[in-house]
Amino acid sequence: MMLNKNIQGFHAQRWQQAVHELTTAQTDYVLVTLLGTAGSTPRASGTKMVITAESIYDTVGGGHLEYKIIAHARELLLAGEPIQTLHHFPLGASLGQCCGGSVTALFEVMAQQILNVDIYGAGHVAQALVPLLGQLPVRVRWIDSRGDIFPSSLPSNVTMLVDDEPEQQVATAPANTTFIILTHNHQLDFAVTERAIKRNDAQFIGVIGSQTKATRFQLRLQHKGYTVEQIQQMTCPVGLPNVSGKLPMEVAVSICGQLIGQYQQHAVKPIRNGLQWQTLKSELHTTEA
């Protein structure tokens, strides 16, 4: 995630609308609330704004105070963890504010528990799988060379990519991506699999097929010099081993169950206790003093 140093281009949405839209789009954001104010301040206690790595919604008063709040929120976003933290801002010469008061702000980092999934192939199994993933906390790139076989509408968390050479998209995937390889061509399956293995940062590589196909791929990779550890990154056949069936929906449900296990295993731990009352009381007392 890159910090956006440009704080221009505020969005028109109020913070309530932004929270709804960002949650639906599974985008990380920080909800900032002015908890305590003392003296002359730009906005009253309870004022809120929302900040993402690239966007800003609503305002807590503008000026250098808001610039500092945005910068602090984006530093918190870089950690990618859901936390609550308080920060105290005296409004004086150091912030270029002439108000003379002080503000305590609550920063609530809403880190979405997102699994990045790249699906290669838009055939029958993928057509059954993608609507299921549309209901889960995953972010999907759906990749195929045949643009005409994609459905006319897609879930909001799915992006369609048409590429004459789908294997080229492996290089553009973020780190820790889960690769689900379901193409209509065994050679293309192998090309995508090899590139995903070569990256050495995939969270999971699942390939559709039989045990015979798996053995062939393993031998080809071995002959090309890949280590046992690298080859073991590939799971073929993809899907839960205890869920049988060859119908597209049966295979899709099996793969979906495997992906649910993936994101539950690697999920960011939720906030358990949040801020302690003594911490909150101490910060608010400092503001009121």
DSSP states along the chain: ----------BSS-HHHHHHHHHHTT--EEEEEEEEEESS-SS-TT-EEEE-SS-EES-SS-HHHHHHHHHHHHHHHHHT---EEEEEEE-SGGGT--S--EEEEEEEEE----EEEEEE--SHHHHHHHHHHTTSSEEEEEEES-GGGS-S---TTEEEEE-SSGGGGGGGSPTTPEEEE--S-HHHHHHHHHHHHHHS--SEEEE-S-HHHHHHHHHHHHHTT--HHHHTTEESS-S-TT----SHHHHHHHHHHHHHHHHHHSPPPPPSS-S-HHHHHHHHHHHH-
Euclidean distance between CA atoms 144 and 120, whole angstroms: 6
Is residue 5 assigned to a domain? no
Residues 86 and 210 in one domain: no
Gap between the Cα atoms of 10 and 55, Å rounded: 7
Asked if 25 and 42 count as a contact pair (C-beta separation under 8 A), the reply is no
Are residues 148 and 90 part of one domain? no
Residues 272, 260 share a domain:
no
Range of the structural domain that residue 93 is part of: 15-112+268-288
Q: Is residue 8 part of a domain?
A: no
Same domain assignment for residues 68 and 196: no
Residue 3: per-residue pLDDT: 41
**CATH code of residue 163:** 3.40.50.720
Give me the amino acid identity at 68: K
Report the relative pairing of strands 56-57 and 48-51 from DSSP bridges: antiparallel
Phi-psi region of 97 (alpha: psi -120 to 50; beta: other; left: phi over 0): beta
Q: How confident is residue 284, by pLDDT bands cut at 50, 70 and 90?
A: low
Q: Do 123 and 254 lie in a common domain?
A: yes
User: How does pLDDT run across 68-78, given as a tens digit for each residue?
Assistant: 999 999 999 98
Same domain, residue pair 122 and 176: yes
Same domain, 44 and 169: no
Reported as a single tens digit per residue, the pLDDT across 101-135 is: 678 899 999 987 678 999 999 999 999 999 999 99
Residues 39 and 89 in one domain: yes
| Residue 29 is assigned to a structural domain of this protein | yes
Mean pLDDT of 166-195: 96
| Residue 198 located in a structural domain | yes
Residue whose tokens read 């550890």? 229
- Report yes or no on 145 lying in a domain: yes
Do you know the residue count of the chain?
289
The pLDDT value recorded for residue 269 is: 54
User: What is the band of 240 on the pLDDT scale with cuts at 50, 70, 90?
Assistant: very high
213 falls in which pLDDT band (50, 70, 90)?
Answer: very high
* Structural domains counted in the chain: 2
Residue 151 and residue 238 share a domain? yes
Kindly state the greatest CA–CA separation across the chain.
Answer: 74
pLDDT at 252: 97
The rounded distance, in Å, linking the Cα atoms of 201 and 196 is: 8
Q: Model's pTM, two decimal places? A: 0.66
At residue 153, the pLDDT reads 95
Question: Sorting pLDDT into bands at 50, 70 and 90, what band is 267?
Answer: low
- Nearest-5° Cα angle at 153, 258 to 50: 75
Residue 11 pLDDT: 73
Position 203 scores a pLDDT of 94
Same-domain pairing of 86 and 50: yes
